[in-house]
């Protein structure tokens, strides 16, 4: 069987642009090429993630052209709800919620329908466009699935929020039940390239994740799928992840930057530099020009004072923290969006 890595590595029809071209022109030409409908090649992706700090602003400017063409100056704000925390039987080495590691995280079973609906109310009050319910699990039990479905039915009666769920690997028929309840999107990240994934997890494989994303799409759900940068992979793994997501035709891509969690196997990893983060994010924008590209977990810890620059590349972000780590205050994020000249997309409750 052809591997996914093989297929994404050989499918690009376009040769790389001349690496001798002046950086300002090289990145502007790449933006033109992508906007004209010719996909970024793997070689071009490698040039982006391996470019120098001297070229960074030219690179961000070019990625910004693509971002503005497809998303204008809008920022979609997403709010997460950790609907079930800790004690996950899987062993993803970056994750503090795995039962295999000694990380300190809150541990609780599935939240009630009322708690999930209350989370949506908070998200709407914060001006979020998307509310994401996430559980720490290999996959949803029957009770968990029905709890989420009933919560979604109630949320959809009250708010115009887009609803995303992230419940792990899906068994046959589960995606269809979520779609019927009103879920808009299903999140399941590939996390890294097919080559690197076995170094991250032994309890399930890259193809298990791939198949869940395909099942979600087949049920009519939008697919939200991304990964984490900075786990010890090579920059070529970033490019191969982006090309795999293009092959999966996902609508939404969260790009996380590892914020090492004490007690996990990756707890001692050094953080990425802000420049590395911005190069990675730019490459995802060129590879996936139209998607809802999200600067996600680890934004504050890895980008530091360069966080606002990510908005010139990504068109969406989380606010109010992440599953197990705090983030910036929603009011600080709102100020950053406004001061950078962008406009947050928000929703209203039904009358």
Known catalytic residues? Answer: 88, 92, 95, 132, 164, 224, 294
Reported as type and span, the H/E element at residue 115 is helix 113-125
Residues whose CB falls within 8 Å of the CB of residue 161, separated by 6 or more in sequence, listed in order: 120, 123, 124, 128, 129, 130, 131, 155, 347
Residue 95 engages ligand SF4 in binding (rule: CB under 6 A): yes
Within 10 A of 54 (CB to CB), how many other CB atoms are there?
8
Q: Which stretch binds ligand SF4 (CB under 6 A): 88-96, 124-132, 279-287, 326-334?
A: 88-96
Residue 66 engages ligand SF4 in binding (rule: CB under 6 A): no
Residue 252 engages ligand SF4 in binding (rule: CB under 6 A): no
Within 10 A of 20 (CB to CB), how many other CB atoms are there?
6
Q: Which stretch binds ligand SF4 (CB under 6 A): 91-99, 111-119, 211-219, 324-332?
A: 91-99
R_g of the chain, CA atoms, integer Å? 19
DSSP codes joined into one string, 116-149:
HHHHHHHHHHTT-SEEEEEE-SSS--HHHHHHHH
Of residues 168, 226, 298, 327, which one binds ligand SF4 by CB under 6 A?
168
Q: At its nearest, how many Å lie between ligand SF4 and the CB of residue 88?
A: 3
Of residues 66, 92, 151, 278, which one binds ligand SF4 by CB under 6 A?
92
Residue 93 engages ligand SF4 in binding (rule: CB under 6 A): no
Of residues 41, 44, 82, 97, which one binds ligand SF4 by CB under 6 A?
97
Residue 98 engages ligand SF4 in binding (rule: CB under 6 A): yes
Of residues 12, 90, 240, 320, which one binds ligand SF4 by CB under 6 A?
90
Half-sphere exposure of 111 (CA within 13 A, CB side): 23
List beta partners, residue 159. 349
Q: Which is nearer to ligand SF4, 88 or 124 (CB)?
A: 88
Residue 88 engages ligand SF4 in binding (rule: CB under 6 A): yes
Residue 227 engages ligand SF4 in binding (rule: CB under 6 A): no
As to burial, measured by CB atoms within 10 angstroms (0-12 exposed, 13-18 middle, 19+ buried), residue 169 is middle
Q: Which stretch binds ligand SF4 (CB under 6 A): 23-31, 53-61, 85-93, 253-261?
A: 85-93
Given a contact cutoff of 8 angstroms between Cβ atoms, the answer to whether 37 and 289 are in contact is: no
- 130 to 149: interface string for ligand SF4, x by CB under 6 A: ------x-------------
Q: Which is nearer to ligand SF4, 95 or 175 (CB)?
A: 95
- Strand residue runs (E) in 158-291: 162-166, 185-187, 222-224, 227-229, 252-257
How far is the C-alpha of 296 from the C-alpha of 187, rounded, in Å? Answer: 13
Residues of this chain that bind ligand SF4 (CB under 6 A): 88, 90, 92, 95, 97-98, 136, 168
């Amino acid at each position: 069987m052809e591997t996914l890595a093989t297929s994404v590595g050989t499918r690009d029809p376009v040769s790389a642009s001349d690496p001798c071209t002046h950086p300002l022109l090289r990145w502007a030409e790449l933006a033109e090429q992508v906007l004209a409908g010719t996909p970024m090649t793997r070689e071009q992706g490698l040039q982006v993630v391996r470019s120098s700090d001297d070229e960074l602003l030219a690179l961000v400017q070019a990625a910004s052209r693509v971002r503005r063409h497809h998303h204008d100056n809008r920022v979609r704000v997403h709010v997460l709800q950790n609907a079930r925390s800790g004690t996950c039987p899987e062993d993803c080495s970056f994750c503090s919620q795995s039962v295999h590691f000694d990380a300190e995280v809150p541990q609780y079973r599935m939240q009630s329908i009322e708690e999930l609906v209350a989370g949506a109310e908070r998200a709407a009050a914060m001006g979020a466009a998307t509310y994401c319910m996430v559980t720490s699990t290999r996959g949803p039990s029957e009770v968990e699935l029905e709890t989420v479905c009933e919560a979604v039915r109630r949320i959809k009666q009250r708010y115009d929020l887009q609803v995303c769920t992230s419940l792990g690997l899906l068994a046959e028929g589960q995606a269809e039940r979520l779609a019927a309840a009103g879920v808009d999107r299903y999140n399941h990240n590939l996390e890294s390239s097919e080559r690197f994934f076995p170094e991250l997890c032994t309890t399930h494989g890259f193809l298990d994740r791939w198949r869940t994303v395909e099942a979600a799409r087949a049920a009519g759900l939008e697919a939200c799928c991304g990964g984490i940068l900075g786990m010890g992979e090579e920059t070529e793994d970033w490019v191969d992840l982006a090309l795999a997501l293009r092959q999966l035709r996902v609508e939404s891509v969260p790009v996380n930057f590892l914020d090492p969690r004490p007690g996990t196997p990756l707890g001692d990893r050094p953080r990425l530099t802000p420049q590395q983060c911005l190069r990675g994010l730019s490459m995802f924008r060129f590879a996936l020009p139209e998607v809802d590209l999200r600067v996600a977990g680890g934004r504050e810890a890895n980008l530091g004072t360069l966080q606002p620059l990510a908005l010139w590349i990504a068109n969406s972000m989380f606010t109010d923290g992440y599953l197990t780590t705090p983030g910036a205050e929603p009011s600080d994020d709102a100020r950053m969006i406004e001061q950078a000249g962008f406009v947050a997309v928000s929703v209203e409750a039904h009358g």
